[in-house]
Amino acid sequence: MPKIDNTLAILWMLRSGEKITAKQIAEKLEMNIRTVYRYIDTLSTSGVPIIADSGHNGGYTLWKPFYEAPLFFDQEEQTSLLHAAVFAEEAGYYGGEALNRAIAKLNNYTNQEQETKIDQQFKSLEIINRLNTLSIQPFLKELELAVMSGFSVNIQYKKRSEEQTNRTIDPYKIIYWNHHWYVGGFCHLRKDIRSFRVDRIEALTLTENQFNLPEDFPTRTFFLNSLFPAPENKARLVLTGSESSLTNICQHWFFEHYLQERTEGQATFLLEDKTMHAYVPTLLLPFGTSIKIIEPVSLKEKMMELLSEWIQFYQQ
């Protein structure tokens, strides 16, 4: 039996709550008693609080609070958990307190050396979030409950136009994208699957109406298609420029969805003509002269028109 299997086997024997001797362990696992002592030392060194009683009625037991401790995590696993906690907190995930309790358990059931490493790992990564998501955490918790239990919710939703509507939705999935939380599901008002930004929900109430969650709901496909519907009047956008600027554009949340081809010094996008003329000029302005529009010509003209309007505005 591999060393890790033997170590875990001894740990589970100790978790029974009964005092057990090295001889009993050796007989159970069919190994030399000296090997048992080495495994006990290994467990103790890794932070397992083993109590050793000598004498006629001696043996090994575990410190009782350790029964509630999580299974062993190696250093890479600990680091991943800690960093995931940092990301979750900065994204506004409501379970931040639970993650903090999990980290506290890692600290409580480790030795001094491991505790120092955990503290260093926790402080080694920092995520700077430009958004305050504390106000939506209660909604995220209620939405997750609704998704898990299959209950519809009534929401008071504020649209971009500041108009408020009352909706009943069957929440299928909670989505985090581009620094915002969304809920996707069936909207009873529109009789269609829609997505809603959680920070625009003014009020939320769980109903007693149950729904059946569709199997294998294509979350990613549905969500991106709702944000970026397939273009009806397709138009080519060809840009040239510096490699770094083209890379930034191709990775932009808007442009990446429409990217058709990327070659050295050039990127080609395929998007709806009206959308291109409405949004692309403003999105390209921050890149200045590092990016040049090759086609369509109409977009060049739109760019010049926009710049002329800005110049006139600031000359007044």
Numbered ranges of CATH 3.30.70 in the chain: 234-315
pLDDT at 71: 55
Instruction: Tell me the per-residue pLDDT of 30-39, one tens digit each, with 9 for 90 and over.
Output: 888 888 888 8
Is residue 304 scored above 80 in pLDDT? Answer: yes
Label residues 282-310 b or e (16+ Cβ within 10 Å = b).
eebeebeeebebbebeebeebbeeeeeee
Topology of the domain covering 3-68: Arc Repressor Mutant, subunit A (1.10.10)
Running DSSP on this structure, what letter comes out for residue 299?
H
CATH 3.30.70 fits 234-315, yes or no: yes
Residue 174 token pair: 């909670």
Whether residue 100 contacts residue 64, with contact meaning beta carbons closer than 8 Å, is answered with: no
Cα separation of 155 and 220, whole Å? Answer: 23
Give the whole-number percent of the chain exceeding pLDDT 90: 33
Numbered ranges of CATH 1.10.10.10 in the chain: 3-68
Strand ranges across the sheet with 201-210? 192-197, 180-187, 164-177, 151-158, 201-210
CATH 2.30.30.100 fits 135-226, yes or no: yes
pLDDT at 285: 92
Is residue 81 scored above 90 in pLDDT? Answer: no
Numbered ranges of CATH 2.30.30.100 in the chain: 135-226
- pLDDT bracket for residue 64 (50, 70, 90): low
Whether residue 42 contacts residue 5, with contact meaning beta carbons closer than 8 Å, is answered with: no
Is residue 21 scored above 60 in pLDDT? Answer: yes
pLDDT at 88: 76
CB atoms within 10 A of CB 105: 13
Smallest Cα–Cα separation from 237: which of 247, 250, 228?
250
Is residue 53 scored above 90 in pLDDT? Answer: no
Cα separation of 261 and 244, whole Å? Answer: 16
Instruction: Tell me the per-residue pLDDT of 180-224, one tens digit each, with 9 for 90 and over.
Output: 889 999 999 999 888 899 989 999 999 999 998 887 778 777 887
Give the whole-number percent of the chain exceeding pLDDT 70: 86
